[in-house]
Structure 1
Amino acid sequence: MAHLLGAERLRLEYPTRVVFDGVTVGVSEGDRIGVVGRNGDGKSTLLSLLAGRLEPDDGRVTSRRGVTIGMLDQGDVLDPSLTVSAAIVGGRAEHEWAGDARVRDVIAGLVSDIAWDAELSTLSGGQQRRVALAALLVGDWDVVMLDEPTNHLDVEGIAWLAQHVRSRWSASSGGLVVVTHDRWFLDEVSTTTWEVHDGVVEAFEGGYAAYVLQRVERDRMAAASEARRQNLMRKELAWLRRGPPARTSKPKFRIDAATELIADEPPARNSIALSRLATARLGRDVVDLEDIGVEFGTKRVLDGVTWRIAPGERTGILGANGAGKSTLLSLVAGTLEPTSGRVKRGKTVNVATLSQRLEELEGLEKERVRDVVGRLRTAYSIGGKDLSPGQLLERLGFSSAQLSTAIGELSGGQRRRLQLLLVLLSEPNVLILDEPTNDMDTDMLAAIEDLLDEWPGTLLVVSHDRYLVERVTDQQYAVIGGKLRHLPGGVDEYVRLRALEDDARSGTLHESSFAASTASAAAAPTASGLSGSERRTAEKELSAAERRIAKLESERAKLHIELAESDQSDYEHLGGIQRRVQEIDDEIDGLEFRWLELQEQLG
């Protein structure tokens, strides 16, 4: 494919560290590249170098003659005195831009809820960000670079953006480079993934899921190599300990070899290995909302909502901005009283909320991380072992040096992790997460999800990150029109409902036909050839298969750990574990085959 843009032997160094050293990358026609990596490793810097906004210390950036590059940086701001229309279409006449299908699509997808003549200075930060994204996307670019474009977009906005960039160019033209922590979006749009780490850029074929598979294989091979190195190290040290004490001094080359092996030990990546924090016991009753109504002035936000939350329930709450999600969770948390109806709360319920604001850290900016956690307890019991606050923080991804860092000097992601730790250490049995993905990179999100997998309480999540919602919750509800609606089809069902709602509101569907289409949905055949009821049955079976596969994979992982920790001379016990692992593998194979069949049926 034709070359669009590239970089050769890039080097960039700051006074305290080397950001890139000898990086060579390229963007060709048809490339759709997702960029991942830990916070601070240089993802945004890489985009700035490729776009020509930042000059490297060494190396060069090249582009084909005439190539146009459009970039949206996290720090890009528009003139606040402009109106929305001026920012997006400039001075173009209405008949000109209204006749452009791309412009109409961008406006409908990103700013349909914002007044066309509103000044940017009167808009919220999230609305200004959407206007800036729209202003970029209405342009005609050969290469589009987006830095965290899904920030401030809701679920349907993210779905629209994915569809837009997929259809923006033909398969063999144009180039997209996007930095985002939204893993669903990465999988939807990326055909190549660049991982930025340790001063280099490593390319993987495929989107986020394919990248994870390849990285696991890479790490597995590295682990095998490390195991061989450790075995050699043990042999070396055993040899040094045998025989006369003088042997350890005479063959100095042997000591040097052992020292070299230890020095070559690669540093472990930050990860969260928190197994389970102590939780208070939940009774049979958690929180029941019965025929709840909430009004603010003349506006009715919730109307006739009934929701009985069960112990151990894991639920995702979806809804457009302003639909009433936060109001609903405030009722659960007890920080808001309903206008009508009643809230019944169990006697042992202890609710904690991980809010978008870092309230738990307010006023602590000058205090050290270790001291803040240490004031809560002197020791924590994890997996039957007592850990000091410092040891626990290290397991949460903080380096030894960061334990003595003032909280005010931590990055956004580090503060978010510390906030989560402090919330969990308050021993809640109902945990509410309000947009928990802010300031998190993909590695840390995976680690947080792993922690939540082992948290035994009731979990309620509000997030526009559909990957996170589908990953950590077992069911989803949506707040639509003041009502709480169960979503058996998950996030996809919510996106379809919102599309129907928008069509009905805009007049493309008359009210009568909209009601008729809803009433006949169970019997009408879909594009896949299934009737509505058949489709729902297939979707339920698909969802059940996914849950079963996840449970089996979890059991298999635990069996592998048990296999490694078991007495290797107990052949009968080891054989039993291996037989169960084989049974799980066979069942997963069957379920995956059925999953593919169902996906094909559903289209």
Structure 2
Amino acid sequence: MNLVNLESVSHSYGPKPLLSDVSLGIEAGDRVGVVGRNGGGKTTLISVIAGDLKPNGGRVTHNRGLHVASLSQGDDLDPALSVQEIVLGGRPEHEWAGDAGIREILSSLLGDIDLTALAASLSGGERRRTALAKLLIDEHDLIILDEPTNHLDIEAIDWLARHLSGRKTALLVVTHDRWFLDAVSTRTWEVVDGSVERYEGGYAAYVLAKAERARIAASAEARRQNLMRKEIAWLRRGPPARTSKPKFRIDAAQALIADEPPARETVELVKFAAARLGRTVYDLEDVTLHAGGPGQGPLVLDHSTWQFGPGDRIGLIGVNGSGKSSVLRLLADTVQPDSGRVVRGRTVRLAHLSQELGELDPARRVLETVEEVRKFIQVGKKEWTASQLLERLGFKGDAQWKVVGDLSGGERRRLQLLRLLMDDPNVLLLDEPTNDLDIETLNELEDLLDGWPGTLVLVSHDRYFLERVSDRIVALLGDGKLSMLPGGVDEYLARRASGAALSARAASGAAAPAAPAPAGAAQDSASGLSAKEERELRKELSRLERQLDRLSGREAKLHASMADAAADYGRLASLDAELKDIVAEKDGIEAEWLEVADRLGE
């Protein structure tokens, strides 16, 4: 059933049309992600669909009785009302407290907010979460979200993606968060040059299909195609979950990345970074740090020892308020530890992008502001001019001659980042660098950082950017330590979920799980197995491992066969069904393996 139809819709502000003769529709159950350049018409499109904006031309039709809920980038919360009054309205407590769905929304989005607090006292992030909770409490036919992940941490974004995926409501979402796009959307619309290009699948499928369209059209934009190939290569080489969304395999896309090298020449970059930095970059020795200064505010580090080496590319994650920015300020030497020592390498040349916009002369031109730092810079094996780098980060043509005072917040953010890079640092500390950047600019920034040799410490809630740019994930888990997470963001979310479950058990008075046996304890006493039982289980473990190896081999052959049969859709469907059977069998055997290993205490 069609919910909304647009017929030949056009709209413009000034001479440039944002929408030009656009016709499309949203059906019940559709989940559409909207992408495009900042200022390209994304917000205009969703405002027209929501009925909040009447277009200059064309017709917009809503299904009779359609219930639409919208979350804009601002909010209209009444400052005199409490959070509870805004979110729950006049619902009696016994009604909402007894509803598991409402309780989940409240605990996931507002768990750290006093429900009796007035809206006037809330921070920007708290207002955002309050508005989002208010929207999700009710049932709707169509939910429209404009940048819903703003001000949310990785954990909240993960919950929101799972929550939206579990609803039957139609969804239209504008976001620059590519991980979120892949997690919630089954179709992608790109708003470009007044039209809306439509693609099946989430972000990964969109990248593949767009590259194929560009190949067929023999696009003259060679550099953009190179960037797209690099993006595809990283998507294909990344975790399997990233490539499970597309429902097709394109032979041309396979050809595009056949000889594509890894996104970064890691060994070469580390070697170059070591030559620029030496052996010591930052050594934290028995450091204790509070967020508000010595003994003030939450404890961030408690007698923590850590080393940041040359060429390290570290993503630092944790819940809001865990102290990520404080750690960056500690490295930047703008705050001092309560105790302990921070040893900085003598050759460190630091650039720190904080969340606060630095002072820029509002009367100067954009290009002048960059060229006063440096006119040329070497990135990887190529020399770039200030003008070329400005173009890569979205300042094209006349935009380079705009006055700084006329720039938006996002444009100032890009300009500040570029000035830092032009100063040729060998250590970069980036605190939420992706704020206000669109996807094309993010791709350019990622490509730029791919060739940058040095030590990088990144704080970001943009999971895609975090995993794309960093090589290792380190977390602040509230225990006063920096914890290495080999499993990346997935391991972080699992640890957080496990900790929340333990806290809930403790709060309810349930017995906590028994602590693991200390290292060196006798295996028989820990597992209760006889020597014979242990031998039998080890044989079973070995058998299961051989089965997994065999299935992995068949899976690899099937992938190769699917690539060869990319144009034969009948053959592809048959191979895909066989592949799903093998993956399901592997999952079952892996579960058996884990069970046996657990019995053996491994």
Shorter-normalised TM-score: what interval? 0.7 to 0.9
- The answer for the alignment partner of 1:570 in structure 2 is none
Q: Distance in 2 between matches of 1:498 and 1:308?
A: 24
- Following TM superposition, the consecutive aligned residue runs of length 4 or more in structure 1 with deviations greater than 4 angstroms are 224-227, 378-388, 508-515, 517-520, 593-603
Which of 397, 400, 405 does residue 402 from structure 2 map onto?
405
User: What letter is aligned with 1:90?
Assistant: G
Partner secondary structure for residue 217 of structure 2: helix
Aligned in 2, Cα 1:445/1:396: closer, same or farther, shift over 3 Å?
closer
Q: Which moved more, 1:129-138 or 1:385-394?
A: 385-394
How far did residue 149 of structure 1 move? Answer: 0.4
How far did residue 329 of structure 1 move? Answer: 1.6
Partner secondary structure for residue 34 of structure 1: strand
Which of 477, 488, 491 does residue 493 from structure 1 map onto?
491
- The answer for the alignment partner of 1:187 in structure 2 is 182
Q: Distance in 1 between matches of 2:325 and 2:219?
A: 47
Partner secondary structure for residue 95 of structure 1: helix
Q: Distance in 2 between matches of 1:70 and 1:322?
A: 30
How far did residue 506 of structure 1 move? Answer: 3.2
CA contact under 8 A between 2:380 and 2:453: conserved in structure 1? no
How far did residue 600 of structure 1 move? Answer: 8.2
Which of 497, 516, 519 does residue 514 from structure 2 map onto?
516
- The answer for the alignment partner of 2:534 in structure 1 is none
How far did residue 514 of structure 1 move? Answer: 4.2
Partner secondary structure for residue 288 of structure 1: strand
- The answer for the alignment partner of 1:219 in structure 2 is 214
Partner secondary structure for residue 358 of structure 1: coil
- Find out whether 1:294 has 2:293 as its counterpart: no
The percentage of aligned residue pairs carrying the same residue is 51
How far did residue 354 of structure 1 move? Answer: 1.3
Q: Which moved more, 1:282-291 or 1:508-517?
A: 508-517
Aligned in 2, Cα 1:498/1:366: closer, same or farther, shift over 3 Å?
same
CA contact under 8 A between 2:474 and 2:485: conserved in structure 1? yes
CA contact under 8 A between 1:353 and 1:432: conserved in structure 2? yes
Q: Deviations over 1:492-538 (max 9, x none)?
A: 11111111222233346778854537779x999xxxxx99xx9xxx9
Partner secondary structure for residue 140 of structure 1: coil
- The answer for the alignment partner of 1:444 in structure 2 is 441
- The answer for the alignment partner of 2:456 in structure 1 is 459
CA contact under 8 A between 1:155 and 1:466: conserved in structure 2? yes
Q: Distance in 1 between matches of 2:401 and 2:297?
A: 51
In the TM superposition, what are the counterparts of 1:569-584 in structure 2 within 5 Å? none
CA contact under 8 A between 1:39 and 1:413: conserved in structure 2? no
Aligned in 2, Cα 1:15/1:299: closer, same or farther, shift over 3 Å?
closer
Q: Distance in 2 between matches of 1:491 and 1:594?
A: 27
In the TM superposition, what are the counterparts of 1:41-440 in structure 2 within 5 Å? 41-169=40-168, 174-223=169-218, 281-295=276-290, 296-297=295-296, 299-359=298-358, 362-380=359-377, 388-440=385-437
Q: Distance in 1 between matches of 2:80 and 2:324?
A: 32
- Find out whether 1:480 has 2:477 as its counterpart: yes
Aligned in 2, Cα 1:382/1:309: closer, same or farther, shift over 3 Å?
closer
TM-score by length of 2: 0.75
Q: Distance in 2 between matches of 1:600 and 1:218?
A: 39
How far did residue 310 of structure 1 move? Answer: 1.1
Q: Deviations over 1:324-358 (max 9, x none)?
A: 11122222222111112111111111221111222
Q: Distance in 2 between matches of 1:85 and 1:164?
A: 21
How far did residue 220 of structure 1 move? Answer: 1.6
How far did residue 99 of structure 1 move? Answer: 2.0
Q: Deviations over 1:142-201 (max 9, x none)?
A: 1101000000110110011011111122xxxx3100001111111011000010110011
Superposition RMSD on alpha carbons, in Å?
Answer: 3.3
Q: Deviations over 1:249-302 (max 9, x none)?
A: xxxxxxxxxxxxxxxxxxxxxxxxxxx9x9881011110111211233374332
CA contact under 8 A between 2:389 and 2:418: conserved in structure 1? no
Partner secondary structure for residue 316 of structure 1: strand
Q: Distance in 1 between matches of 2:204 and 2:22?
A: 24
Aligned in 2, Cα 1:379/1:462: closer, same or farther, shift over 3 Å?
closer
How far did residue 416 of structure 1 move? Answer: 2.3
User: What letter is aligned with 2:496?
Assistant: R
How far did residue 379 of structure 1 move? Answer: 4.2
CA contact under 8 A between 2:370 and 2:422: conserved in structure 1? no
CA contact under 8 A between 1:38 and 1:441: conserved in structure 2? yes
How far did residue 128 of structure 1 move? Answer: 0.6
Partner secondary structure for residue 364 of structure 1: coil
Partner secondary structure for residue 188 of structure 1: helix
Q: Distance in 2 between matches of 1:419 and 1:440?
A: 13
Q: Distance in 2 between matches of 1:119 and 1:21?
A: 43
- Find out whether 1:471 has 2:468 as its counterpart: yes
Aligned in 2, Cα 1:21/1:474: closer, same or farther, shift over 3 Å?
same
Q: Which moved more, 1:137-146 or 1:6-15?
A: 6-15
Q: Distance in 1 between matches of 2:583 and 2:460?
A: 27
CA contact under 8 A between 1:504 and 1:510: conserved in structure 2? no
Structure 1 residues without counterparts, runs of 5 or longer? 228-275, 525-529, 550-592
Aligned in 2, Cα 1:147/1:518: closer, same or farther, shift over 3 Å?
farther
Q: Distance in 2 between matches of 1:385 and 1:315?
A: 24
- The answer for the alignment partner of 1:37 in structure 2 is 36
User: What letter is aligned with 1:82?
Assistant: L
Aligned in 2, Cα 1:487/1:226: closer, same or farther, shift over 3 Å?
closer
Partner secondary structure for residue 349 of structure 1: coil
Q: Distance in 2 between matches of 1:455 and 1:601?
A: 43
- Find out whether 1:506 has 2:535 as its counterpart: no
Q: Distance in 2 between matches of 1:150 and 1:378?
A: 36
User: What letter is aligned with 2:503?
Assistant: R
- The answer for the alignment partner of 1:27 in structure 2 is 26
- The answer for the alignment partner of 2:578 in structure 1 is none
Q: Distance in 2 between matches of 1:225 and 1:440?
A: 25
How far did residue 224 of structure 1 move? Answer: 5.9
Q: Distance in 2 between matches of 1:474 and 1:118?
A: 41
Aligned in 2, Cα 1:514/1:334: closer, same or farther, shift over 3 Å?
farther
User: What letter is aligned with 1:131?
Assistant: T
- The answer for the alignment partner of 1:581 in structure 2 is none
Aligned in 2, Cα 1:334/1:358: closer, same or farther, shift over 3 Å?
same
User: What letter is aligned with 1:491?
Assistant: V
User: What letter is aligned with 2:488?
Assistant: G
Structure 2 residues without counterparts, runs of 5 or longer? 223-268, 528-536, 557-580, 592-602
Aligned in 2, Cα 1:368/1:188: closer, same or farther, shift over 3 Å?
same
Count of residue pairs brought into register by the alignment: 488
Partner secondary structure for residue 70 of structure 1: strand
Aligned in 2, Cα 1:385/1:48: closer, same or farther, shift over 3 Å?
closer
Partner secondary structure for residue 414 of structure 1: helix
CA contact under 8 A between 2:315 and 2:473: conserved in structure 1? yes
How far did residue 363 of structure 1 move? Answer: 3.8
